[in-house]
Amino acid sequence: MKRFAFKMKLLPGYKDEYKKRHDEIWPELEKLLKDNGISDYSIFLDEETNILFACQKQFGEQTSQELGTDPIVKKWWAYMADIMETNPDNSPVTFPLEEVFYME
């Protein structure tokens, strides 16, 4: 098991909408993530900078961001593209973070 952390950027004024969309995450997306070894997935927001910090456990070879060839993920990215910084393919602009401390 690996832990993977990354950051993304929410557009200003979309905190409530971002939370609402994730509170209503599609069951097929949740199943896809779990079936690919993604668990214990959390996203935090720094409201001062609109930076989203995500952390997940990864039991498979791929992180959630590497599942972008799946139609469900592509559909989710398109759904989220209007409220966050994205790449031309609608994937969120992400920046992997280096772990510098961990305490179990």
Question: Alpha-carbon distance 83 to 99, whole Å?
Answer: 27
Does residue 22 have an active-site annotation?
A: yes
Per the CB < 8 A criterion, the answer to whether 2 and 77 are in contact is no
Distance spanning both ends of the chain, measured CA to CA:
14
* Annotated catalytic residue within 2, 3, 19, 22: 22
Enzyme catalytic residues: 22
